[in-house]
Every structure is written in C-alpha cells, then in structure tokens.
Chain A
Amino acid sequence: MLETIFKGSKSYWTLVTILAGLIAVGAIFYIKQLQVGLGITGMSRDVSWGFYIAQLTFLVGVAAGGVMLVLPYYLHNYKKFGKITILGEFLAIASIIMCLLFVMVDLGQPARALNLWLHPTLHSVLFWDSLVLFGYLFLNLLVGWTVLDCERNAVPPPKWIKPFIYLSIPFAFGIHTVTAFLYCGLPGRHFWLTAVLAPRFLASAFAAGPAFVIILCLILKKYTKFNAGKDAVQALSRIITYALLANIFLFLCEVFVAMYSQMPSHMVHLQYLFFGLHGHNALVPYMWAAMTMMAVAIFMLLVPSVRKNESYLAIACVLTFVGIWIDKGLGMITGGFVPNPLHQVTEYMPTFPELMISIGIYSIGGLILTFLFKMAVSVREEVSQDL
C-alpha cells in the first residue's frame, strides 16, 4: 500500500513540499538547540517545562480521541463509523509520533534517552508513560494497516486482529490517564494535584480528537472523493458536544473547589491564569480566548440546526480544537509552575526557536498524516473503481 503515497496530484505534492520545508526549518533550529542547549527556549529554573511538554499533553489527547471512533464501531457495532475508523487510527499514529518527538526535543541529553529502558524505574510515571505511548502506537499501526489492507483486497479483517482492536480501547484511555498522572501526583504543585485531572484530560481529548477528525473529513470531502457521510459526521459532533460539556463541567468543579475553599495555594494558579498575579499576566488574554472559544463552540453544537450545517459545524470544531489547544497546550503546564513553590512569579513564553522546532514537529506529524490519509483515500478509490 505504501506505493500509493508516491502517486498524487499537484496539490498533494505542493502540500508535501511545504511540510518538508517546514520540517527542514525546524531541524535547523533543533541543531541550534543541540549546540546551545535548552537555553534557547523560554524555559527557566522556575518554569522547567514549557511548550514542548504542553504539546505532548495536548497531542496525547488528540491520539486518545481516536478511540471515540473505534469504540462505537467495534464495541457498539455502529456501522456508520466503519468508513472513518481508519482516520481515527491514523490520526492517533501521527499524534503519538509527534508526542514522542516533543519528548525527545525536550530532553536535555537526548542521546541518553534509552536510559529510560536501560534502567527501568517502576516508580516513575514517565517510564509507564513511555510504555503506554509506544504500546498505543504499535496497536494503531497494526490495526490500521491490517484493516486497510483487507479492505483493499476486499476481504474481511482476520479474526486475530480483534483482540488488538479491543486492547487499543483501554490503551487510549491509558495513555491520557498516565499522562495526567505525570502531573497530578506531584506534591506541592497544587494546580495539578487534583483527582479530576485525568478525567478532565480525557474529556478534553474526546472533544479535541473528534473535532479534528471532523475537520479532516470535511477537508477530504472537499478535495478528494472520500466522503465520510453526513450521519457519521453528525454522530461525531454529538460526541464532541458531550465531551466538551464534560470538560467545561470538570473545569468549573476545579474552579469551585479552589474559589469556595479560598485556599490560597489552590486559588493562586487560577488567579494567575485568568487575572494575572502581581502584575504578571502574560497568559490572561489566551485563557479568556480559550474559554470564550469553548463556550461559543458549546452553544453552536448544542443547537441542532447550527450543528447540522456543516459550515457552522466546521467553525465549531475549529473553535473546540483551538480552545482546548490553548487551555492544554499553553495554560495547563505553565499554570502549574506559576507561581513556584516559593511563591515567586517567573513568567514563561515560548521563544521563536522553540516555536520553530514545534512547527517542525507538527509538520512531521502533518506529513505522516498526509501520507497515511493518502493511502486510505487511494485504497478507497481503488476499491470503488473495482466495483
């Protein structure tokens, strides 16, 4: 099936070239980072995780979101997702690879990365996170490839693949739960020290992942012969609605606990993010923008007549995706570090090289996704011609 990625239209090759160019730019900045050190980023002694780890967190969510296609199709036999399940799996593959790359660029000594497995440490959540991430990547590669190959040969998927499909479901929940456990088990970081962090991560993931799938479906429908079908897109939009509501609900639970208890150590991070602290307010506009986007998206998704209009639905999905991206990819990590445990405020903003490296990684993900989707679309076109 791989050969299908070498044959494509002019616009396909234009997209591939643009992504390859961005990857090259990112690589140049990464070489610079290897030479100078992580000092070229905006991270500091106080804010020791920044944009990279935040992208990891967000993208683990996008990857886990793929399960919202797999689960209804394979567990509830919801046939309408049959056509797009593969998109969820391929999105998961691209996302997980991006996650792993974001961890790599965040390491101070990337050449020593294998120490993670040479000295396996069971009491470190990072060790377990690496296991579930690689496990989920493997499962999606195996399932996605096998199912698509069978589709191409017009045969039903083999029986032995079923256990792997079922296993991928708890793994999807697992990757985001373990990723939340990276943060929520740390004493003295009160913003993260909450049992609701993992559920909230899952809720936002199940909104952001499917929202991106809808955007992709609408793009594919416009530019290729691949049509996900109205019903599948509408079913996905309902999933997004519930997940986004759950995300906002859990966030408001957090706000209530912090603000009603009036415990300064719990309130202070929310105060910093939404109102600024001692004149430091770099993230305030972003947080309000994120909340506004999610609120508008909820309103649009809740009204059936709006949701059923695919142009409006596209806007709602973009708002959902970007809103969650800001919340998780910018506020969630920085918010936990500001103020520091000594109640001092050091602000964080990603630097230009840091953003370029991140764009490079997103382009790698984009390229992988382009290739995988090209494969899926080509196979579908082949099969429909044969019929």
Chain B
Amino acid sequence: MKNSRRKFLKIAGATAAGLGLSTTAIKALESTTAEPPRAPDPHAAPAVDTIKMGKPVIDETAPVADVKKNPPPSKAKQWAMVVDTRQFKSSKDLEPVVNACNKIHNIPSLNKKHEIKWIWEEEYKHLFPSLETKFLAEEVKHRPFPALCNHCENPPCVRACPTQATFKRKDGIVLMDFHRCIGCRFCMAACPYGARSFNYVDPRPNIEEFNPQFPTRTKGVVEKCNFCAERLAKGQWPACVEASNGAITFGDLDDPDSDVRKVLKNNFSVRRNVSLGTEPSVYYII
C-alpha cells in the first residue's frame, strides 16, 4: 500500500516536472498565435502548459503598456484588473497604491467600525478563505494583498439595490450613484467580498487632503471602488494602477490582445470566491 502510494507520487512528480515547460516551449507555443486561426485541436495540451508559478514572467514578445507613457484604451467591453501580488513584498510596497486611491477619492480616515475602504491591505487567508491551505508558504502568508471591489460580471449588489443607485455599466464597471442611494445597505449584505462601505457619519470633516476633482460624499450613503471611472473618462489609468509600478495591470478582459489577457495567458491567476458565480473581474497572480 505504502509502496504503491510512493510510486504514484513519483509518477505524479515527474509529470508535474514535465508540465513546467522550458521557455523555448512557451515561445514556440506563443509563435503559433501569430499564425492565421486554425480549428481548435481537441487533443491539444490544455492551457496549463503555459502556467509558470513562483517568479514574475517577463515576456518580451508581448509587452504590457507602460502606464507612465501610454494612456489606457479608450473603451472596453469588460474592464478588468490583474494584480501581480508577487511584486508586493511588504506593506511598504502596497501603501502608495492604497494612498493614491484614498487621496484622489477623498476617502476619510475614521475608526475601524465606520471606516471607508476602496482598496486596502488584506492577508491571503482573509482574501482567499476558500483557497486556504494549512501550510501556506511563509512569504505568501505575510504578503500584503490588495482587496477591492471585484466589479463582478454578475454583481449581487446590483441585483439587490432597490433604486438602481448601484448599477453595472456597459464596460463592466459597477458604479454608485451617491445621489440616488437611500442608504438601505442591502448591497453591503449582498456583496460577498466586503467591498462596500457605508458613511455612518459625515465623512467631510475627516478628509485629510481635499481633492476638488472628485466629489465628497454625504453621510448615509454607500460607496466603493469605481475602477477610477472618472480617470478612465479622461484617458488616465486608475490611480492604483499608476501607483503600482507595474504590479497592477488594467485592460479589457474581452480583448484577447489586451494587457490583462497577455498577463493572464502567461501566469497562473486566481479570483476571490468564484464558487458564488459572481465572476469577479479582479485577478490575482499568487
């Protein structure tokens, strides 16, 4: 019994090693994408072949946009975000990202019960409770993970909202109309990602540095990350993307040539609690 189990593990290990293909193999596979489309081969190796885990993949053939130089695409069918969490080594790396969002969106600083959070730091075990592993790699355990609204393709908050104050735009962004919201907080109960905050008190006196470019909110309304819809409209990248030094990629999930699709093609990624059928648009490379 013991022997056969060991044998199995050996074979499994060898197979796994085989799956971790060399870079040449990956290159070869990618070159095929340049060819005219062919009928899909049902016996082709699954996409898992291109998966590489552990270190960042730098793929010269498909460079992602440099957010410092190029503006974001003007439109998309489904905006999405890919967070390369490997690039966040400590809270220090994530802090500028969170601060950029807080500052631009006039997020007040309040006590823990009443706090407003659009993007914030979480531990792996809280962000991915369904992907828990008993013995998580030490480095991942302490890695700071950014949590934010997933801009779900099938958002439960939009379904729950009785006034359409929260709604899904044609480009996939789930937005809030702060002026229509009645503050019933049904959306907060509906969101399975804890992405929504309620203004339990007037936020205005607690905004450290006021940004006149973005509206402040009144007490009694719900708010959350808006994928920087106001910046995209002006041809700017979302604030967190810009502040992330390349760790966060942003683009159209429906466009196979988009930056997000390029990054997803080459890296193993996960999403938060997919079993709920919400189809989150924020992907995490672990």
Does B182 lie within 8 Å of A115, measured CB to CB? yes
User: Which residues of A are found within 8 Å of B156, using beta-carbon distances?
Assistant: 186-188
How many B residues have CB within 8 A of the partner chain? 48
Q: Is A152 an interface residue (CB 8 A)?
A: no
What CA separation (Å) do A115 and B184 show in the bound complex? 11
Does B114 lie within 8 Å of A124, measured CB to CB? no
What CA separation (Å) do A344 and B127 show in the bound complex? 10
Does A346 lie within 8 Å of B160, measured CB to CB? no
Which of the candidate stretches A40-48, A319-327, A370-378 sits at the interface with the other chain?
A40-48
Q: A39-B114, A108-B219, A116-B162 are in contact. Are A48 and B127 (CB under 8 A)?
A: no
Cβ < 8 Å to A, chain B residues 25-61: none
Does B129 lie within 8 Å of A343, measured CB to CB? yes
User: Which residues of B are found within 8 Å of A37, using beta-carbon distances?
Assistant: 199-202, 219-220
User: Which residues of B are found within 8 Å of A46, using beta-carbon distances?
Assistant: 194
Cβ < 8 Å to B, chain A residues 321-340: 336-337, 340
Q: A115-B182, A187-B276, A341-B192 are in contact. Are A108 and B220 (CB under 8 A)?
A: yes
Q: Is A5 an interface residue (CB 8 A)?
A: no
Does B126 lie within 8 Å of A344, measured CB to CB? yes
Whole-angstrom distance between the Cβ of B281 and the nearest chain A Cβ: 16
User: Which residues of B are found within 8 Å of A109, using beta-carbon distances?
Assistant: 181-183, 218, 220-221
Q: Is B134 an interface residue (CB 8 A)?
A: no
B190 to A, closest residue via Cβ: A186
Does B221 lie within 8 Å of A124, measured CB to CB? no
User: Which residues of A are found within 8 Å of B186, using beta-carbon distances?
Assistant: 124-126, 182
What CA separation (Å) do A45 and B191 show in the bound complex? 12
Q: Is B161 an interface residue (CB 8 A)?
A: yes
Could you say which of A43, A44, A112 has the most chain B C-beta atoms within 10 Å of its C-beta? A112
User: Which residues of A are found within 8 Å of B193, using beta-carbon distances?
Assistant: 188, 341-342
A43 to B, closest residue via Cβ: B200
What CA separation (Å) do A38 and B200 show in the bound complex? 5
Does A108 lie within 8 Å of B185, measured CB to CB? yes
Q: Is B163 an interface residue (CB 8 A)?
A: yes
Q: A39-B201, A108-B181, A342-B122 are in contact. Are A126 and B188 (CB under 8 A)?
A: no
Whole-angstrom distance between the Cβ of A105 and the nearest chain B Cβ: 11
Q: A36-B201, A44-B114, A126-B160 are in contact. Are A107 and B189 (CB under 8 A)?
A: no
Q: Is A127 an interface residue (CB 8 A)?
A: yes
Q: Is A151 an interface residue (CB 8 A)?
A: no
User: Which residues of A are found within 8 Å of B220, using beta-carbon distances?
Assistant: 37-38, 107-109
Q: A247-261: contact bitstring with B at CB < 8 Å (1 yes, 0 no)? A: 000000000000000
Whole-angstrom distance between the Cβ of A6 and the nearest chain B Cβ: 37
User: Which residues of B are found within 8 Å of A121, using beta-carbon distances?
Assistant: 161-164
Whole-angstrom distance between the Cβ of B157 and the nearest chain A Cβ: 10
Contact of A108 among B114, B183, B278 (CB under 8 A): B183
Q: Is B197 an interface residue (CB 8 A)?
A: yes
Q: Is B159 an interface residue (CB 8 A)?
A: yes
A contact set with B: CB distance below 8 Å: 36-39, 41, 43-46, 48-49, 103, 106-110, 112-113, 115-116, 118-119, 121, 123-127, 130, 182-183, 186-189, 336-337, 340-344, 346
Top-8 shortest CB links A-B: A108-B183, A188-B192, A108-B220, A39-B200, A37-B219, A44-B113, A39-B201, A126-B162
